[in-house]
Homo-oligomer: A and B are copies of this chain.
Amino acid sequence: MNTADRLVAAAAELLDSGGEVAVTLRAVAAATGVSHNAPYKHFPSRDDLLAAVAAADFDAMAAEWVRIRTSPSTPAERLANALDVLVKFGREHPARYGLLFNSPELAGREGPLRFAAEEALDQFAAIIEDQQNTGDLPAAPADHLAVLLAATAHGLINADAGGRLRRRTNWAGVGDGLQTLIKLLSNH
């Protein structure tokens, strides 16, 4: 594992343990065992290091979605599992989740992060398309449905993280809200 990868891993751990504010370049460098400005030899700025963490997480998410998409479950189960990947990541890694979906400035950048995000969304959309083909979701373009479902998932995850979800609904969690929406969208 080269220094750049170790810096990314250290940053991810700091995000998990202390949130975005904990990710100072000095702390990342110390956790990696290099001097306080060695990171600049691998990343132009702190934001670029964070973008690298986000890109790696999108890659991992895409890999999970590939696994789910080719798993032997039913299309409906695969869709539920795909959504659960998002929900679980948001719950277990809130700061890293924020990098992926709550940071428009980061998302708007060119580069590997944008590419990784598109790759991941491709897999997500494919899972949705499989479920559409069972006739159980509206026949809208798969990309439209994928964007809508991802958007709703994201909104519900944020609402729950801020404590706003359970104050207004009797849902046990984000999954219940998503299943409610899917039921409303289903053709029966």
Residues of chain B with a CB closer than 8 A to A92's CB: none
Interface size class for chain A?
Answer: 35 or more
Contact of A94 among B94, B104, B121 (CB under 8 A): B104
Taking CB as reference atom, which chain B residue is nearest A104?
B161
Contact of A152 among B143, B152, B162, B163 (CB under 8 A): B152
Residues of chain B with a CB closer than 8 A to A153's CB: 155
Contact of A151 among B98, B108, B144, B154 (CB under 8 A): B154
- Interface positions of A (Cβ within 8 A of B): 19, 94, 98, 101-108, 114, 117-118, 121, 125, 138, 140-141, 143-144, 146-148, 150-156, 158-159, 161-165, 167-169, 171, 177, 180-181, 184-185
